[in-house]
Amino acid sequence: MTTALRRLRNYIDGEFRDAADGRTTEVVNPATGEAYATAPLSAPADVDAAMAAAEAAFPAWRDLIPAERQKVLLKIADRFEERAEELIAAESENCGKPIALVRSEEIPPMVDQIRFFAGAARMLEGRSAGEYMEGFTSIIRREPVGVCAQVAPWNYPMMMAVWKFAPALAAGNTVVIKPSDTTPASTVLIADIIGSVLDELGHSRGVFNVICGDRETGRLMVEHKVPAMASITGSVRAGMQVAESASKDLKRVHLELGGKAPVVVFEDTDIAKAVEDISVAGYFNAGQDCTAATRVLVHESIHDEFVSALAKAASETKTGAVDDEDVLYGPLNNANQLKQVKGFIERLPAHAKIEAGGEQVGDKGYFFAPTVVSGLKQDDEIVQQEVFGPVITVQSFSEEKQALEWANGVEYALASSVWTKDHARAMRMSKSLDFGCVWINTHIPLVAEMPHGGFKKSGYGKDLSAYGFDDYTRIKHVMTSLDG
């Protein structure tokens, strides 16, 4: 007996709609490898409709005083808390994530981040008015950019949606957001939540729109004439394509792309504490995190002890079913990602050694064992390229200069960490590490008040913080004569 698939739909101008041409794609639960829903495969007509709704809603939303936009965002945050169990269930099915971890590690930060941007809406900053030419006063206005086309990834579908819509709406923009084709369920639920709040408070539901689809749908969004800004969290390749497409009409672009975070462990480190924290930061969410602690560089004097402890920690780390409260992470997101992670392991050079894991777990779903690989060299593929899986690599260095050179010697520049008791060394390293974030004796904590974003091929623009809010605004100079 075949179970009927749930039907997900686009959310455009306050209505849930199928794709105009009726096309759909199946959505698979990565914990089972089985389809549980269908979602629209949106085409030009759907993108046109969503952009038209956002464009029509923009003037009234833009012209609201910040306090009114704040009310909306605070109500959305409240509603996220009220409907938390629905969101948790949707995200767990979306991604195969452990239910307990979605409840503890994703819902509270998302609610906090929405509330942060609700406050940011009322903290617009600019230089004070003044006379810089005799007889004239200059004023700086900070304004929303307009309609924002946003593309969210599959590793944190809910949270990345929040990182995008919250600052955009707070700043006075309207939104058309597309979730990944593999994880649309939670974003569609978010549309229901936001739409109901907009309706209750008397605002156009066209302020927030969701369209489901694939890469082609995303390309149509970015190339559409209406959006003033395109924002994407995704791969380097996707970011380059977005930047190229947006350049055709000089759209503003906000890119948060891949990472290959170095974790530099010096000889004076508390090994047990470092291993414990690095294991969690490397394997959490199955390593599917651009900031994951998956590239360890450890001083040669403690290398063997550290690798042994790391391998032991990997063997004690559990992956498994969504309702098992003892697991640290669930499956990889999709069959292609499982294939990619397996490929890195299969192509390891002869000098590499698998200290733990290295294989798929079970015969159902896309689970992969927590893995440690040692004996690697700087130019090895697995060191240079993002695996995006539960695989921690280890290299041995002899001196600080070499550690810094190797840490910076990749194309990514999103996040990094330094592990040492030497304050001066920590300051030297944090100054010279070419990454958008440097953690010292920790790895992966994020707060709403601090920016998240990288350099080089990790993209540009910031998420979170006042810097992330500023990215969704534009600056206007107004000058007036004082002689009447």
Count of domains forming the chain: 2
**Are the beta carbons of 16 and 166 closer than 8 angstroms?**
no
Query: Active site residue: 91, 290, 355, 437, which one?
Result: 290
Q: Is residue 441 part of a domain?
A: yes
Give yes or no for residue 102 having a pLDDT over 70.
Answer: yes
In terms of domains, do 295 and 326 share one? yes
Position 391: which residue type? V
pLDDT tier, 326 (very low <50, low <70, confident <90, very high otherwise): very high
**Are the beta carbons of 28 and 39 closer than 8 angstroms?**
no
Structure token digits, residue 444: 């992966």
pLDDT at 127: 78
pLDDT in tens, 35-90: 999 999 999 999 999 999 999 999 999 999 999 999 999 999 999 999 999 999 99
pLDDT at 484: 73
Q: Is 131 a catalytic residue?
A: no
Q: Is residue 246 part of a domain?
A: yes
In terms of domains, do 59 and 88 share one? yes
Cβ of 153: how many Cβ atoms within 10 Å?
23
Q: Is 95 a catalytic residue?
A: no
Distance of alpha carbon 345 from its chain centroid, rounded? 25
Q: Is residue 222 part of a domain?
A: yes
* pTM for the structure as a whole: 0.96
Q: Is residue 452 part of a domain?
A: no
β-bridge partners, 342: none
Give yes or no for residue 4 having a pLDDT over 90.
Answer: no
The upper half-sphere exposure of residue 84, i.e. CA atoms within 13 Å in the direction of its Cβ, equals 17
Q: Is residue 484 part of a domain?
A: no
In terms of domains, do 246 and 284 share one? no
**Are the beta carbons of 294 and 387 closer than 8 angstroms?**
yes
Structure token digits, residue 415: 């996040």
Give yes or no for residue 28 having a pLDDT over 70.
Answer: yes
Considering the chain, what is the average pLDDT of its residues? 96
Residue ranges making up the domain that contains 332: 262-447
Of 195, 203, 163, residue with least CA distance to 64: 203
> Cα Rg for the chain, rounded, in angstroms?
23
**To the nearest whole percent, how much of the chain has pLDDT over 70?**
99
In terms of domains, do 288 and 411 share one? yes
Characterize 92-105 residue by residue with b for buried, 16 or more Cβ atoms within 10 angstroms of its Cβ, and e for exposed: bbbbbbbbbbbbee
In terms of domains, do 130 and 188 share one? yes
Give yes or no for residue 128 having a pLDDT over 90.
Answer: no
Q: Is residue 354 part of a domain?
A: yes
**Are the beta carbons of 380 and 349 closer than 8 angstroms?**
yes
CATH number reported for the structural domain that contains residue 286 in this entry: 3.40.309.10
Mean pLDDT of 248-258: 95
Of 266, 264, 262, 229, residue with least CA distance to 245: 229
pLDDT tier, 124 (very low <50, low <70, confident <90, very high otherwise): confident
In three-state form (DSSP H/G/I as H, E/B as E, the rest C), the secondary structure along the chain is CCCCCEECCEEECCEEECCCCCCEEEEEECCCCEEEEEEECCCHHHHHHHHHHHHHHHHHHHHCCHHHHHHHHHHHHHHHHHCHHHHHHHHHHHHCCCHHHHHHHCHHHHHHHHHHHHHHCCCCCCCCCEEEECCEEEEEEEEECCEEEEECCCCCHHHHHHHHHHHHHHCCCEEEEECCCCCCHHHHHHHHHHHHHHHHCCCCHHHEEECCCCHHHHHHHHHCCCCCEEEEECCHHHHHHHHHHHHCCCCEEEEECCCCCEEEECCCCCHHHHHHHHHHHHHHHHHCCCCCCCEEEEEHHHHHHHHHHHHHHHHHCCECCCCCCCCCECCCCCHHHHHHHHHHHHCCCCCCEEEECCCEECCCCCEECCEEEECCCCCCHHHHCCCCCCEEEEEEECCHHHHHHHHHCCCEECEEEEECCCHHHHHHHHHHCCCCEEEECCCCCCCCCCCECCEECCEECCECHHHHHHCCEEEEEEEEECCC
Q: Is residue 205 part of a domain?
A: yes
pLDDT at 143: 95
Q: Is 482 exposed, middle or buried (0-12, 13-18, 19+ CB in 10 A)?
A: exposed
Termini Cα distance of the chain: 81
Name the CA dihedral angle for 63, 67, 68, 74, rounded to a multiple of 10 degrees: 140
Position 10: which residue type? N
pLDDT tier, 125 (very low <50, low <70, confident <90, very high otherwise): confident
**Residue 334 CA: distances (Å) to CA of 78, 111, 401:** 32, 27, 39
Distance of alpha carbon 92 from its chain centroid, rounded? 17
pLDDT at 1: 45
375: left (phi over 0), alpha (psi -120 to 50) or beta: left
In terms of domains, do 319 and 183 share one? no
In terms of domains, do 202 and 127 share one? yes
In terms of domains, do 273 and 252 share one? no
pLDDT at 250: 94
**Are the beta carbons of 41 and 24 closer than 8 angstroms?**
yes
In terms of domains, do 130 and 278 share one? no
In terms of domains, do 378 and 320 share one? yes
Mean pLDDT of 204-219: 97
**Residue 204 CA: distances (Å) to CA of 83, 114, 123, 245:** 22, 19, 24, 29
In terms of domains, do 358 and 434 share one? yes
Q: Is residue 153 part of a domain?
A: yes
CATH number reported for the structural domain that contains residue 232 in this entry: 3.40.605.10
Query: Active site residue: 93, 106, 256, 355, which one?
Result: 256
**Are the beta carbons of 472 and 164 closer than 8 angstroms?**
no
pLDDT in tens, 349-377: 999 999 999 999 999 999 999 999 999 99
| 208 backbone dihedrals φ, ψ, rounded to 5° | -135, 125
In terms of domains, do 123 and 17 share one? yes
